[in-house]
Amino acid sequence: MRSIDEQGYHFEEWLTPKQIAADVQQVANKISADYKDKEPLFVVVLNGAFMYVADLMRALSDIRCEVTFIRVSSYYGMASTGQLEFIVPLQQVVDQRDVIIVEDIVDTGLTIHQLKAYMRAHGASSVRVTSLLFKPNKLEYDDAKPDYVGHEISDEFVIGCGLDFDGFHRNLDAIYKVKESK
């Protein structure tokens, strides 16, 4: 089994590239069926979702869609006001669009909770979410439960396939789970 050691933490391979490809394919099949008569706008949350969306788009070549990218920073203290800072702003008009937000992982759900409120406030006809990984035990915002999930995970830290540790390891072709600290 492949493993990575970083800053005193030991990570072991958990989802192989083959398993991730199967997860992406099952998500793509559901989205294809649900959006076959629509023209969804995929709003990709950078940086983490870049690898997931590349795989997802290749598996979704049968639908007509658009893809755009944003980068946001959520503020816990201001969660109730729905404040969201756009570091890379949304460049597409979402009014009357069927939006699908693409995330790497949904944890507390704060980011998605705020993004959904933003999309609705800006006139989106519908807003759904797809996430490569989902931590259901950590979810604090009911409306942030992703509609299309690659894989559920318990409350463990993971890296790879877009997910970083201090900016590194996004390029790993598998998902690695932290096992122990030295």
Shortest gap between Cβ of 112 and ligand 5GP (angstroms)?
6
d(CA 79, CA 48): 21
List of residues contacting ligand 5GP (CB under 6 A)? 48, 74, 103-111, 157-159, 163-164
Q: Choose between 106 and 149: whose C-beta lies nearer to ligand 5GP.
A: 106
d(CA 82, CA 118): 8
Which token pair is 6? 């970083």
Q: Choose between 126 and 141: whose C-beta lies nearer to ligand 5GP.
A: 141
Q: Choose between 71 and 120: whose C-beta lies nearer to ligand 5GP.
A: 71
Shortest gap between Cβ of 165 and ligand 5GP (angstroms)?
6
d(CA 71, CA 107): 17
Shortest gap between Cβ of 136 and ligand 5GP (angstroms)?
11
Task: Return all residues near 136 (Cβ < 8 A) that are at least 6 apart.
Answer: 145, 152
Provide the annotated active-site residues.
107
Contact (CB, 8 A) for 15 and 151:
yes
